[in-house]
Amino acid sequence: MGHLSMADATLSAQSKPEHATRPSFLRNLLLKNLSAKIAALPMIVTVLVVFVGCSAWSVYYSFTNSGQLPSGKFVGFAQYERLFHTARFIGAAKNLAMYGVMALVFTMVIGFLLAVLMDQKIRFENTFRTILLYPFALSFIVTGLVWQWIMNPNYGIEKVLHDWGFTNLHFDLLNNGNTVIYGLVIAGLWQGTGFVMVLMLAGLRGVDEEIWKAARVDGIPTWRTYLQIVLPMMRGVIVTTLVIVGSGIVRLYDLVVALTQGGPGFASDVPAKYVYDYMFGRANLGQGLAASTVMLVTVAIILIPWAYLEFGPKKNK
């Protein structure tokens, strides 16, 4: 049936009644709504080739000893063994875990608190929202470079503090391996909390006004209403936000490149950067692919419980 031109196909799918002689299952499968199928072809190709195909390809070749080109022979879990014995990768994973826990907790908590603050029937709500959200329109590269300058040990906040006479205070997070992650978190929070705030605010506004009235009638203090009644009701928004923020954290790359380049040493290295360096810098494809597969598994570990909670029970009809 591949010889049908698009125009023919459109015609046969829409105006011509099906040949009543022999209803063919295959024919039906291919030709019913044919123009819709043609229109959806980019999506189908993307799904099959990119999301399924490329991922499967990467996972497969992570079990080979491919160097510069994906031509290596099968070596089982050797790449993974090496990966988990490479100090740089372990460090990168630890850094990401540390960044991830802090960024996740702080963005969620601060985002929620800001949303509550914005929900107090304040004046100039639009102005405040514009201010809190504008960093989210900026790229991680811009974010990283601004904060690199602000945290510059010679000319940045450190110098301001010293000029003001606080010579004991230090704000040199980026050049110290023990504190560089906090620098990343500060920059990341600046960029992302506004976004969480907007989502949380939408969630707060979605709570029925009657709930508030009932709570007020019962004399429950506002903070307890937020914490014990409204927050549990926002489960959907919170879970969605967690998933978005979480999968963003796993991908963390641009911000590191701009703010610290993974340094000092490898103190702020992250898996995404490890993958990039081994794939494109060091021509060690097998290592890069193994590391990327570990990232994929990590995301799956985050996603599968969520998918089960969201979609699982419905499927058990």
Partner 1 sequence: MAVDTLEPRGMRPRPFFTPRKIIIYSLLFFVSVYYLFPMYVMIVTSLKDLDEVRGGNIFALPVRFTFDPWFKAWNSACTGLYCEGLKVGFFNSVKITVPSVIVSVLIASINGYALVNWRFKGSEVFFVILLFGSFIPYQVMLYPMVIILRELKMFSTLQGVILIHTIFGMPILTLLFRNYFASLPPELFKAARVDGAGFWRIFFQIMVPMSLPIFVVAMILQITGIWNDFLFGVIYAGNQNYPMTVQLNNIVNSTQGVKEYNVNMAATILTGLVPLAVYFISGKWFVRGIAAGAVKG
By CB under 8 A, what part of segment 44-63 binds partner 1? 44, 46-47, 49-55, 57-59
One residue of 74, 84, 149, 166 binding partner 1 per CB under 8 A: 149
Shorter beta-carbon distance to partner 1: residue 85 or 315? 315
Told to check if 272 binds partner 1 by CB under 8 A, we report: yes
Within residues 282-301, the interface with partner 1 by CB under 8 A covers: 285, 288-289, 291-293, 295-296, 299
**Which sign, positive or negative, has the C-alpha torsion 240, 243, 246, 247?**
negative
- Which of 24, 68, 71, 130 contacts partner 1 by CB under 8 A? 130
CA 67 from centre of chain:
29
> Tokens 């985002």 map to which residue?
111
Taking CB under 8 A as the rule, does residue 138 contact partner 1?
A: yes
Contact between 137 and partner 1 by CB under 8 A: the answer reads yes
Q: Does 6 bind partner 1 (CB under 8 A)?
A: no
Q: In this structure, which amino acid lies at residue 105?
A: V
**Planar angle of CA 240, 190, 200, nearest 5 degrees:** 30
Contact, 280 vs 213, CB < 8 A? no
Binders of partner 1 among residues 157 to 196 (CB under 8 A) are 157, 159-160, 163, 190, 194-195
Q: Kindly report whether the peptide bond that precedes residue 264 is cis, defined as omega within 30 degrees of 0.
A: yes
User: Which residue in 78, 146, 220, 229 binds partner 1 (CB under 8 A)?
Assistant: 146
Contact stretch for partner 1 (CB under 8 A) within 73-81, 87-95, 175-183, 242-250: 242-250
Residue 64's beta-bridge partner residues? Answer: 74
Q: Can you tell me which of 1, 16, 24, 32 binds partner 1, judged by CB under 8 A? A: 32
Region from 28-36, 74-82, 86-94, 97-105 binding partner 1, contact rule CB under 8 A: 28-36
Does 227 participate in binding partner 1 (rule CB under 8 A)? no
| CA distances, 103 to each of 85, 168, 194, 263 (Å) | 27, 28, 13, 19
Q: Nearer to partner 1 by C-beta: 176 or 247?
A: 247
By beta-carbon proximity to partner 1, the closer residue of 36 and 90 is 36
Single residue of 179, 247, 266, 277 touching partner 1 by CB under 8 A? 247
Q: Does 129 bind partner 1 (CB under 8 A)?
A: yes
Q: Tell me the H-state helices in 164-179.
A: none
Please, what is the minimum distance in Å from the beta carbon of residue 297 to partner 1?
Answer: 10
Interacting residue with partner 1 among 90, 105, 109, 117 (CB under 8 A): 117
Three-class DSSP category at 64: strand
**Which stretches within the chain are classed as H helix?**
6-14, 25-31, 34-39, 41-45, 55-61, 78-84, 87-118, 125-137, 140-150, 157-163, 180-205, 209-217, 222-224, 231-233, 235-250, 254-259, 271-276, 285-315
Could you tell me how many residues of this chain bind partner 1 (CB under 8 A)?
Answer: 96
